[in-house]
């Protein structure tokens, strides 16, 4: 078998089953015509090789990412033109994913991560859209006049780590050789908050060992956490800051895109037990360097070093800050560095939504808790992982998982009652365990009071208010979360929350516009599926509702929501009535 590096393009027809059930012969004839007159000629013109086709899709290999991107652009631009006068319900629209990676050639077929990732990216592309990986985008940067929107890290099915992705800008009136401005340059800058604001960019790993990347990232997360507890400071969440990882950034552009006055950047060098942190604070409006320093120490002093960086930054931004407020912002998560290491390794896995990620994260967190039984963050994260297994229908012994998850949560709050991140983990988990909604809301309110810059706390508060029946308040809290974390990789989950609020407000078209793409991006998130099914049913779109029901049966054995998901009786009955219309019994 041969291996080589290639650009892989995966494409399929959005809503193919619906189109076929509506007009099987017409759909097949139109698809054949589009391939003959547009798709296949563009692939040939850009030196691609069609590896294989299915009823509604194809896999294509290119020697160059540039050729793959240009081909995808021309196909989607051409399809947009052909669909101009075609009613939405009968349009044939492609979704395309592109990745550059290692592939295995066996006979005339191709396999490997390059293929798998391209297929997953196609799954999160919008109908008529193109989604490409960060690896592919780096290959074509500066070589094609096509605009791209940064989607941030995306959770892809059966891919262990979140992957950064980019959305191609498709204008039917432009060709791939016509200049197109990226959305980030054309977008209006976010307004500055009414208090000092800062984004902490990913620190460079100067250790010479890629395996230490997680340590540099973990250090930045801890600095963000420390700064976030300073109440007069508006701090952009880690998820949005980390969309700039690996880029040569223009600090002024970062300030405009994230809506902040200050930017902190730096590096971490780890050699044996020795550690060096460098940092510099920059005024994003003027580009002026306000502070720069190098801090040396040992691994045993790692938390002290992080505190020194955070305190120096806070002191520069607000020299008159009282020392007592700074000292209150500092909390030791654990004195055990091995426990800290296990927690850092588990953290990205907890942000996935799936059985495999939750189980792997739990394994690491159990090791952290074994080293430090009072490690609140590890206990809180473990509680949330157990809730994921329960909510997703992946727990074989539901009562055992529920009991252990509740115990993890109670121990977390008891160990660190004033850590806003711990309170947020546990509030979200406890609603999953069907604990009192009022108790969960009390926890999240305390989390927000302790850290008003906590995007995840506002995120969870939005969901808890939604489940409690307060849709207007939920929408306001989702908006607060998005302002603090404008590039959050949790966007599909947030869109589900906002879409659910729209559903209960009978704004069905707006709800579907958020829920349908969210389900494509996180196909295992059952809450999205449930709300979308009920929404389609209330709109009279029963065929589409039943398609989602069929999808739901594939991803979870828990096809019906638990009774305590919604606490407002009127909303619960309205929601369940839609499910019944779609054929889901109680």
Sign of CA dihedral 155, 359, 212, 330: positive
Q: At what angle do helices 526-538 and 569-581 cross, to 10 degrees?
A: 80
Check pLDDT > 90 for residue 408. Answer: yes
Distance between CA atoms of residues 548 and 571, nearest Å = 21
pLDDT above 70 coverage of the chain, percent: 89
User: How does residue 326 score in pLDDT terms, banded at 50, 70 and 90?
Assistant: very low
Distance between CA atoms of residues 290 and 313, nearest Å = 9
What is the predicted pLDDT for the residue at 212?
67
Q: Which of 25-29, 68-72, 146-150, 231-235 has the lowest mean pLDDT?
A: 231-235
Read out DSSP for 105-118?
A: EETTEEESHHHHHH
Once rounded to an integer, what is the mean pLDDT over residues 309-333?
49
Read out DSSP for 31-83?
A: HHHHIIIIIHHHHHHTT-EEEEE-SSEEEEEES-HHHHHHHHHHHHHHHHHHT
Q: Residue 220, exposed/middle/buried by CB under 10 A (0-12, 13-18, 19+)?
A: buried
User: How does residue 440 score in pLDDT terms, banded at 50, 70 and 90?
Assistant: very high
Residue 200 contacts residue 258 (beta carbons within 8 Å): no
DSSP single-letter state for residue 156: -
Distance between CA atoms of residues 68 and 575, nearest Å = 43
Distance between CA atoms of residues 570 and 582, nearest Å = 19
Structure tokens at 47: 């030196």
Among 121, 153, 157, 7, which residue's Cα sits nearest to residue 523? 157
Largest CA distance in the chain: 75
* Residue that is written with structure tokens 């990232």 in the block: 217
What is the predicted pLDDT for the residue at 512?
93
Task: Point out which residues pair with 283 in neighbouring strands.
Answer: 262
The three-state DSSP-derived secondary structure of 550-573 is: HHHHHHCCCCCCCCCCCCCHHHHH
Per residue in 522-556, pLDDT (tens digit) is 888 889 999 999 999 999 999 999 999 999 888 88
* Residue that is written with structure tokens 């711990």 in the block: 422
Structure tokens at 10: 């995966």
What is the predicted pLDDT for the residue at 33?
85
What is the predicted pLDDT for the residue at 144?
76
Per residue in 41-52, pLDDT (tens digit) is 889 888 888 998
User: How does residue 471 score in pLDDT terms, banded at 50, 70 and 90?
Assistant: very high
Q: Residue 84, exposed/middle/buried by CB under 10 A (0-12, 13-18, 19+)?
A: exposed
User: How does residue 317 score in pLDDT terms, banded at 50, 70 and 90?
Assistant: low
What is the predicted pLDDT for the residue at 493?
92
What is the predicted pLDDT for the residue at 385?
94
What is the predicted pLDDT for the residue at 400?
93
Per residue in 273-290, pLDDT (tens digit) is 787 888 888 888 888 887
Task: Point out which residues pair with 362 in neighbouring strands.
Answer: none
| Cα separations in angstroms, 221 against 48, 116, 228, 296, 335 | 43, 30, 10, 19, 17
Name 341's Cβ contacts closer than 8 Å, sequence gap at least 6. Answer: 215
> Between these two residues, 312 and 254, which has the higher pLDDT value?
254
End-to-end CA distance of the chain: 52
Distance between CA atoms of residues 232 and 212, nearest Å = 33
CA 469 to chain CA centroid, nearest Å: 25
> Between these two residues, 289 and 327, which has the higher pLDDT value?
289
What is the predicted pLDDT for the residue at 15?
85
> Between these two residues, 331 and 557, which has the higher pLDDT value?
557
CA 441 to chain CA centroid, nearest Å: 24
Per residue in 335-382, pLDDT (tens digit) is 666 787 788 778 778 877 778 889 999 999 999 999 999 999 999 999
What is the predicted pLDDT for the residue at 306?
67
pLDDT above 90 coverage of the chain, percent: 33
Task: Point out which residues pair with 164 in neighbouring strands.
Answer: 153
User: How does residue 112 score in pLDDT terms, banded at 50, 70 and 90?
Assistant: confident
Check pLDDT > 70 for residue 148. Answer: yes
> Between these two residues, 220 and 569, which has the higher pLDDT value?
569
What is the predicted pLDDT for the residue at 334?
59
What is the predicted pLDDT for the residue at 577?
94
> What rounded mean pLDDT belongs to the chain?
83
- Max avg pLDDT among 36-40, 261-265, 368-372: 368-372
What is the predicted pLDDT for the residue at 194?
66
Helix, strand, or coil here: 318?
Answer: coil
Name 234's Cβ contacts closer than 8 Å, sequence gap at least 6. Answer: 193, 195, 196, 197, 198, 260, 453, 484
Domains of the chain, each with CATH number or no CATH: 2-182 (3.30.70.1230), 197-328 (3.40.50.10610), 336-449 (1.25.40.10)
Once rounded to an integer, what is the mean pLDDT over residues 129-137?
91
Residue 97 contacts residue 122 (beta carbons within 8 Å): yes
Residue 267 contacts residue 206 (beta carbons within 8 Å): yes
Name 481's Cβ contacts closer than 8 Å, sequence gap at least 6. Answer: 455, 456, 458, 459, 462, 488, 494
What is the predicted pLDDT for the residue at 311?
63
Per residue in 14-26, pLDDT (tens digit) is 888 888 888 888 8
Per residue in 149-208, pLDDT (tens digit) is 888 778 787 777 778 889 998 755 444 443 333 333 334 567 777 677 889 998 888 877
Among 65, 551, 160, 129, which residue's Cα sits nearest to residue 355? 160
Helix, strand, or coil here: 98?
Answer: strand
Check pLDDT > 90 for residue 90. Answer: no
Measured from the Cβ of residue 252, the count of other Cβ atoms closer than 10 Å reads 15
């Amino acid at each position: 078998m041969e291996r080589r590096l290639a650009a892989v393009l995966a494409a399929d027809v959005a809503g193919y089953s619906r189109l076929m059930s509506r007009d099987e012969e017409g759909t097949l004839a139109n698809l054949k015509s589009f391939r003959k007159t547009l798709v296949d000629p563009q692939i040939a013109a850009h030196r691609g090789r069609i590896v294989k086709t299915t009823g509604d899709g194809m896999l294509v290999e290119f020697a160059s990412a540039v050729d793959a991107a240009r081909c995808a652009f021309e196909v989607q631009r051409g399809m947009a033109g052909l669909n101009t006068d075609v009613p939405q319900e009968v349009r044939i629209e492609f979704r395309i994913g592109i990745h550059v990676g290692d592939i295995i050639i066996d006979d005339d077929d191709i396999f490997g991560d390059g293929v798998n990732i391209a297929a997953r990216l196609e799954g999160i592309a919008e109908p008529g859209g193109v989604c490409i990986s960060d690896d592919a985008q780096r290959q074509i940067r500066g070589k094609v006049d096509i605009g791209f929107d940064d989607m941030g890290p995306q959770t892809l099915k059966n891919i262990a780590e979140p992957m950064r992705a980019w959305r191609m800008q498709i204008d039917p009136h432009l060709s791939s050789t016509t200049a197109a401005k990226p959305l980030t340059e054309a977008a209006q800058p976010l307004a500055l908050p009414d208090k000092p604001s800062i984004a902490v960019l990913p620190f460079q790993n100067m250790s010479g060992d890629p395996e230490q990347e997680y340590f540099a990232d973990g250090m930045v997360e801890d600095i963000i956490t420390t700064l976030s507890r300073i109440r007069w400071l508006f701090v952009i969440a880690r998820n949005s800051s980390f969309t700039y990882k690996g880029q040569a950034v223009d600090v002024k552009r970062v300030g405009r895109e994230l809506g902040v006055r200050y930017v902190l950047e730096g590096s971490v060098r780890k050699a044996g037990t020795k550690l060096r942190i460098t940092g510099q604070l920059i005024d994003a409006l003027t580009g002026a360097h306000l502070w720069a320093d190098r801090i040396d120490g040992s691994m045993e002093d790692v938390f002290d070093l992080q505190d020194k960086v955070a305190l120096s930054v806070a002191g520069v931004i607000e020299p008159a800050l009282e020392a007592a407020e700074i000292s209150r912002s500092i909390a030791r998560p654990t004195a055990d560095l091995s426990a800290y290491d296990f927690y850092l390794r588990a953290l990205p896995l907890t942000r996935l939504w799936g059985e495999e990620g939750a189980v792997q994260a739990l394994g690491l967190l159990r090791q952290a808790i074994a080293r430090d039984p009072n490690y609140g963050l590890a206990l809180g994260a473990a509680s949330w992982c157990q809730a994921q297994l329960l909510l997703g229908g992946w727990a074989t012994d539901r009562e055992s998982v529920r009991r252990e998850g509740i115990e993890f949560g109670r121990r977390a709050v008891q160990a660190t009652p004033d850590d806003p991140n711990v309170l947020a983990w546990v509030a979200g988990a406890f609603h999953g365990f069907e604990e009192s909604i009022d108790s969960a809301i009390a926890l999240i309110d305390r989390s927000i009071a302790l850290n008003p810059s906590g995007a995840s706390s506002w995120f969870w508060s939005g969901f808890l208010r939604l489940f409690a029946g307060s849709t207007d308040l939920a929408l306001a809290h989702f908006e607060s979360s998005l302002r603090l974390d404008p590039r959050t990789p949790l966007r599909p989950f947030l869109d589900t929350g906002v879409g659910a609020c729209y559903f209960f407000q009978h704004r069905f078209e707006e709800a579907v516009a958020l829920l349908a793409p969210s389900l494509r991006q996180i196909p295992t998130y059952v809450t999205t599926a449930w709300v979308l099914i009920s929404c389609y049913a209330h709109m009279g779109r029963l065929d589409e509702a039943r398609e989602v029901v069929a999808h739901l049966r594939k991803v979870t054995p828990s096809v019906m929501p638990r009774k305590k998901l919604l606490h407002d009786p009127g909303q619960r009955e309205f929601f369940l009535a839609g499910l019944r219309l779609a054929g889901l019994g109680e």
